[in-house]
Amino acid sequence: MGTLFEVGAALLGACIGSFLNVVVWRLPQEDPRRRSLGGRSHCPHCGALIRWFDNVPIVSWLVLGARARCCKKPIAIRYPLVEALTAGLFLLLAMRLPGGTVMLVDIDGATSIDAAAATAFGLHAVFLSLLVALSFIDFDTQLLPDVLTKPGIALGLLGGLWPGLAGLISDDTSTSPALRSVLASLVGAGVGCGVTWTIRAVGSWVFKKEAMGLGDVKLMAMVGAFLGWQSALLTMFLGCIVGAVIGGIGALRGGNTQIPFGPYLAIGAVIAMFARDAIVTFLFTTWPEWQRGSAAAPFVLGVAAAASLLLLFVLVRRSRRQS
């Protein structure tokens, strides 16, 4: 049953990904009629209705040869990529539910799905779907719409009623797990929002222009509400690292490095969601122990520092030439 559930989760993710393509395309539209998420899908080139057998996730794009049946115009590869990405995330969620929750339980010799785990799966699946939609909208418009982030915050806080979604705020067994879980979501939302707003305020003061949009602040509040304050901080840390790496590679290749911060935060949130404990253990236990016990540690750190300085030097020179 475990394999069947995982396959079902992947198929569900592909179908959700198909709907997310609609969300990404329609929500930013200025015309209220085109912004509506209801109704059948239309070809973005000629406006013809897309028949159901041409709208099967991933498969239709392959069968049609990446061209619309109605007008033969190319279909962007983004559509199957969003579907495949969402399917992969749902599959990963089915295989490894955050918090070590067991999805399948054995009751009287029969395998069934635990109700609490199923609820956690559903809430995390919605969270991942919101991250995918917000990331691609941010790519296109440099905006993180309130119509997604604010309900996401509310759902994350509501999800705190299920103990363990965002962790537990303390180990005090005299307080009910539900209350500790709700407090963890509230604190997580506050930390995610507060840290990001502080960075935004300081950055705007230093650089004399807006360093980060309010949409990022709301996105981090949503991340904290779903994952807790520790994962919110880890998300910001990982988002900065991913942004620096991708931005550095883009600058070295001479490409456009003006990528909004939302997708980086989304990547950091996914990593924190599935690997927080492993990362925290590495950063605060494994790495310090290795530094204390390895004679090569100073050499490795020195090489890393030199490489970072060299990369910074190259980026500065390139930016001066372009200006």
- 182 Cα distance to chain centroid: 22
Q: Which residues of the chain have pLDDT under 50?
A: 102, 106-107
DSSP string for residues in 183-217 = HHHHHHHHHHHHHHHHHHHHHHHHHSS--S-HHHH
- Would you say 166 and 184 are in contact if contact means Cβ atoms under 8 Å apart? yes
Contact 148, 156 (CB under 8 A): no
CA distance 247 to 1: 43
Among candidates 68, 269, 64, 264, which has minimal Cα distance to 166?
Answer: 269
pTM exceeds 0.75: yes
pLDDT at 32: 65
Per-residue model confidence (pLDDT) at position 317? 61
Scan for tokens 């990904």, then name that residue: 17
**98-114 pLDDT per residue, tens:** 755 545 554 455 555 66
Nearest to 100 by CA among 156, 167, 157: 167
Contacts of 144 (CB under 8 A, 6+ apart): 134, 137, 138, 213, 215, 216, 218, 219, 262
Per-residue model confidence as pLDDT tens digits over 181-235: 888 889 999 999 999 999 888 888 877 777 678 899 999 999 999 998 999 999 9
Task: Say if CB 27 and CB 147 are below 8 A apart.
Answer: yes
pLDDT the model gives residue 262: 92
What is the model's pLDDT at position 224? Answer: 94
pLDDT of residue 314: 64
Terminal C-alpha separation, the chain: 60
Please state the domain extents for the chain. Answer: 1-105
The pLDDT of residue 294: 82
The per-residue pLDDT for 292 is 83
Residue 99 CA: distances (Å) to CA of 103, 146, 201: 11, 28, 33
